[in-house]
Structure 1
Amino acid sequence: MSFLSDTDLESLRIEQSVFHIVGPGEEYFQLLTAFDAGRHAPFFLGRVKSVNGGNRYEFLQDAPVRKQLARISRDKTTFQEESEKLATAFNGAHGGSTAVGAFLIFVLSCTSGRLFALLKFEDEKVLSYDYEVGGRSGKPKPTFGEIERTFVQNRNALQKAALIRLGKERDEICVVDRQNPQRPAAYFEQFLLARRQRTEEELTKTIIDVTRNVAQKHKAMLPPEAMKNLAQRLYDASQSGGSVDGENAENWLKSIFGPLPDDSPVVKDFKAGLKREGMTGESFVLQKNAIQAPKNRRVETASGIKLTIPVGLTSSVVLVNRDKGEIIIKDQITLDDYELNTSGRSRS
């Protein structure tokens, strides 16, 4: 499911906010004082809401980030001090290829309680423009200015984010990495000192189970050719080495069944199935070892003939031609008999 419910999103408010400048070297690092989001709150809340779905994590034991956030939760006056510790640790974890930007920390409140947002915005150089009266032609003359440090709505500018809710029994963490959606950057995980709640093998198996259940429910609506060898299609997809984009998970479904309208009941139930499994927004790489290779192939005909064929048999032994509706078996026959049903009562 999404990290925040619709009710939470509607009631989301900023209690405290600060950002610090971070980058690949100490020369960029700059600590700043906390600020009141004020009239800019809708902009920042919009960025928080844009990362409402992502990969689910859990803190490892004695994670410093958790301790620092817990201290802020207990005592708001520690916000500036703890935010500086968080920014220092985040900046220290940066590699040489990371971009200069702002590391924002928000304390948020909503209907279900308090949570924290940690956001990394990369600086984007933008060209601003205006105009002034007095050009030679009598028309306004454009003027330009470069701005290097900006917060923009472009989703790609918000590179990394974590939404965190602390609980008495368990914490909730949602992580988004725009550059590496399937496998967030190692330094970001190390900064949080967190690990994914589910392995990619578990996620692969679950999305296949959800897809199979949805297909059986809506088999009358799906292409017959896809349903004839559904298990084979699912297995082949799991072995492809491809990935699932949590923001466009329906693309996985379409790779199995072909084009489907966005308002299709199949797509709707598929998304609902992922939500029930707590997989909304999860991005991951499909794992080949998640699903065992099929041992048998099943073939059924319109007349009720059912065959179970070991996968290893070559076409010289069993040849199935679906286009011609033919099954040719060339093998030694070891049984040719009838089935007797002795469980029922005989008729007089």
Structure 2
Amino acid sequence: MIEFSILAEMFYICSNGEKMAFLTEEELGSLKIEQSVFHIVGPKEVHFQLLEAFDATPHAAFFLDRIRSVNNGNHYTFLADAAARTQLGRIDKDAAQFQAESENLAEAFNEGHGGSTVIGAFLIFSLNCDTGRVFALLKFEDEKVLRYDIEDGTSGKPKPTLAEIGRTFVQNRHALQKAALVRLDGEGSVCLVDRQNPQRPAVYFEQFLGVKRVRNDDDLTRILVDVTKAVAYNHSDKLPADVMTSLTKRLYDATQSGGSVDGEKIEDWFTSIVGPLPKESEILTDFRKQLERARISGESFVLGKDAIPVPRNRKVETGLGVRVTFPAELQSSVVNIDEKKGLITIQDEIKFNDIELDASRRARR
């Protein structure tokens, strides 16, 4: 039996379910393997080898765990001429096409998989869940593994023996490097994960699937900022006062940092704005729920510097209702705000110093 290791590039393709970018817990729990095959792919044509389907039933728990371990990412839709969607659609309609179409998919993948990539196994599963058929495509890269045993040594002490395993399937979640989840309903929806480049998934994976991203970095940045602001205001009584008084500025400065967002560590973004929170915090729970409602849960992207308009004015309000509005670009040498001392210092020529009448009241005669 040939064994392979996982430095995995992985795809999930789901059809006939409700319109979500990832499988629900119910769908994940109901997954069953119907057909399975893997082909050998590599950087050179000599590595490419088509194989017959195999029975994955004895190892179903292992493979299903790999599928369940990667279940969100960046959202895509299929291009009109996406060959992968057509090939998977043929399998969806006729299970007898599984072997032939799996070979077509492997050949297409292998063509884009060349260059400096290493030899590995390209697996395709036809599964079923409560909401319909599911396809899982996985790329496992070869990895050298040493296996050891203990035997009697000539000196009387036990000695280790080492055997090199050229190809193995390894149970390691972090070894799953790339993934995509796809539905074949309507135009099709795709959820693609690349753990090596979460913000910029490998182009050849996008080209192989024939997909385009639903939202660009600026769109995602705007939605993330709006969700963060809304959640912070909803829980303002539980967050530090200095955070709430400067929330918009904190969000704007964060978008200008040139940083990025990792969808699998989305809490890091929120706590970078509002400060540390326990993992079980109800605020973080609400934040995650709001991201799901906004349909950007699991998205990884580079923060768009042009997503948020440049602030025109800065506003300061004191406890007694004194409000000061001034151009945001003014230096502290002109307007200085000392929050600890409760002191606002303005050094500039005064051109207006008068009272403002309430225009909503009728003037007395």
- Bin of the TM-score, shorter chain as denominator length: over 0.9
Give the equivalent residue in structure 1 for 2:337.
Answer: 320
- The answer to whether the Cα contact below 8 Å between 2:21 and 2:190 also exists between their aligned partners in 1 is no
Q: How many residues align?
A: 345
Counterpart of 2:129? 110
Taking the TM superposition and a 5 Å limit, the aligned residue runs for 1:64-75 are 64-75=83-94
Aligned mate of 1:177, from 162, 186, 194: 194
- From 86, 93, 97, the counterpart of 2:105: 86
Aligned match for 2:320, one of 295, 299, 303:
303
- Equivalent-residue separation in structure 1 for 2:42 and 2:145 (angstroms): 19
Cα distance in 2 for residues equivalent to 1:304 and 1:260: 31
**Is the CA contact 1:119–1:162 (under 8 Å) kept in the aligned structure 2?**
no
1:19 alignment counterpart: 38
* Amino acid of the structure 1 residue aligned with 2:175: A
SS in 2 for 1:220: helix
Partner residue of 2:11? Answer: none
Partner of residue 350 from structure 2, selected from 315, 320, 333: 333
- The secondary structure found in structure 1 opposite 2:150 is strand
Q: How far apart are residue 198 of structure 1 and its match?
A: 0.9
Residue type of the partner of 1:80? Q
How far apart, in 2, do the equivalents of 1:19 and 1:161 lie? 16
* Residue aligning to 1:155: 173
CA distance in 1, matches of 2:260, 2:133: 33
Residue deviations 1:133-183, cap 9 Å, x none?
x4446565432211121111122432222222211x231211111211111
- From 304, 315, 329, the counterpart of 1:287: 304
Shift of 1:222: 1.2
Q: 1:8 aligns with which of 27, 39, 49?
A: 27
- Counterpart in the other structure of 2:223: 206
Aligned partners of 2:21 and 2:181 also within 8 Å: no
Q: Which residue of 2 aligns with 1:166?
A: 184
Map 1:227-306 onto structure 2 (within 5 A).
227-306=244-323
- Displacement of 1:8: 0.6
What SS is found at the alignment partner of 1:209? helix
Cα offset, 1:294, TM superposition: 0.7
Tell me how far apart the structure 1 counterparts of residues 225 and 199 of structure 2 sit (CA, whole Å).
17
The answer to whether the 8 Å contact 1:124/1:157 transfers is: no
Residue type of the alignment partner of 2:74: N
Q: Deviations over 1:4-48 (max 9, x none)?
A: 111111101111111111111112111111111111011111111
Q: Is the 8 A contact 2:72 2:181 kept in 1?
A: no
Specify every segment of 5 or more residues in structure 2 that has no aligned partner in the other structure, as ranges.
1-19
In the alignment, does 2:73 pair up with 1:54? Answer: yes
2:15 match: none
Partner of 1:145: 163
| Paired residue secondary structure (2:332) | coil
The AA in structure 2 aligned to 1:271 is: R
Separation in 2, partners of 1:106, 1:143: 36
Deviations 1:35-62 (A, max 9, x none): 1111101111111111111111111011
Report the Cα distance in structure 1 between the residues aligned to 2:129 and 2:327, rounded to whole angstroms. 57
Q: CA 1:78–1:2 in 2, change beyond 3 Å: closer, same or farther?
A: closer
**Are 2:190 and 1:196 aligned?**
no
Identical aligned pairs, as a percentage?
A: 60
Structure 2: distance between partners of 1:319 and 1:162:
51
CA distance in 2 between counterparts of 1:36 and 1:57 reads 31
Corresponding residue to 1:77 among 87, 96, 101: 96
**Contact 2:73/2:298 (<8 A) preserved:** yes
1:120 aligns with one of 110, 116, 139 = 139
Secondary structure class of the residue paired with 2:81: coil
The letter of the residue matching 1:335 is F
Whole-angstrom CA distance in 1 between matches of 2:148 and 2:97: 41
- Report if aligned partners of 1:117, 1:161 keep a CA contact under 8 Å in 2: no
Q: Could you tell me which amino acid in structure 1 is paired with residue 93 of structure 2?
A: R
How far apart, CA to CA, are the structure 2 residues paired with 1:26 and 1:95?
Answer: 9
The separation in 2 between residues aligned to 1:333 and 1:246, in whole angstroms, is 50
Give me the whole-angstrom Cα distance separating, in 2, the residues matched to 1:44 and 1:81.
Answer: 22
Q: 1:86-108 deviations in whole A, cap 9, x for unaligned?
A: 01111100241212211111112
Q: Is the 8 A contact 2:106 2:122 kept in 1?
A: yes
Equivalents in 1 of 2:193, 2:77: separation in Å?
14
* Structure-1 residue corresponding to 2:12: none
